[in-house]
Every structure is written in structure tokens, then in C-alpha cells.
Amino acid sequence: MAAMKAFGTHLSPSSSVEGGRKKFRFVYLSGGMSERDQSRSLWMAGEMRKIRGQVENELTAYEKSNHTNVEVYIARPGMVLARGMSLRTLVFGMGPSIWVDELARVLVDVAVNGNGDGERVLENERMLRWKQ
């Protein structure tokens, strides 16, 4: 969060864009099973899921309090797969998943263009339907 605050304060361009101030765009790579409810009891990978959810909560709160300087996007991919077929790829591909190059394309597009179509949290399914 300290880095996010520094970026939002010092890297936010001061140039005017379409009558408004250009914002610093931050893309956080979270995970598909992140849990924002910190009081919820989880059976699987609970600590990691709650940590990701806590970071998402803090980033969202920071954006709300600094909406003139910062845009925050949160990507929540499922299993990230490398190209090439193997038994492991097939097994992991049965759940929510995305190819690493497709995920990279979405993340770069969002960082450069902010194309979330109004969405700030990009779930795996949404990223799979991302425009070319």
C-alpha cells in the first residue's frame, strides 16, 4: 500500500485530458478465489485468499478517497496456464483458467487504456471474453 500511495501522489500526471486530470492507473493481480470478507471461515487456502481480499479492500478504499488521482483495477484470474498441452494442463484446465499470454494481454490493455467497460474487478470469465 505504501507503494500505491507513492504512485498515486507522485506519478499521477498533472496534464489535462478531455477537461479533466489524467489519473494514475494501477492494476492489481489478485486471484480468482480472493475473499474480501475477513471474518468468513474458509476451508481451502484461507489465509492467502483473505490476504488478497484485504489488499483488494485497501486498494478500493484508497481509490475512493483519491478518485481524482487514481484508478484501480483488480484482475482475478483462475489458474494461469502456460502454452503447451500436458496432463497437468488438462487437469488444471477443468476449473476456471486462462492462458498466461491472454492474461498478459488483458493486464497491459487495462494498464494502458483502462478498458474495463466500467468494471473495476475483472473476473476470469470476463478476461476470457476480452476484445482483441
User: In whole angstroms, what is the distance from residue 8 CA to residue 4 CA?
Assistant: 6
Average pLDDT over residues 84-104: 75
| High-pLDDT (> 90) share of the chain, % | 14
pLDDT value for 110: 93
Per domain, the residue ranges of the chain are: 2-128
Residue 1 has pLDDT above 50, yes or no: yes
Residues 6+ apart with CB under 8 A from 15: 21, 22
Q: What is the pLDDT of residues 6-63, one digit of tens each?
A: 777 766 665 445 555 678 889 988 887 666 556 666 566 566 766 777 788 888 899 8
3-state DSSP helix/strand/coil percent for the chain, to nearest 5?
Answer: 40, 20, 40
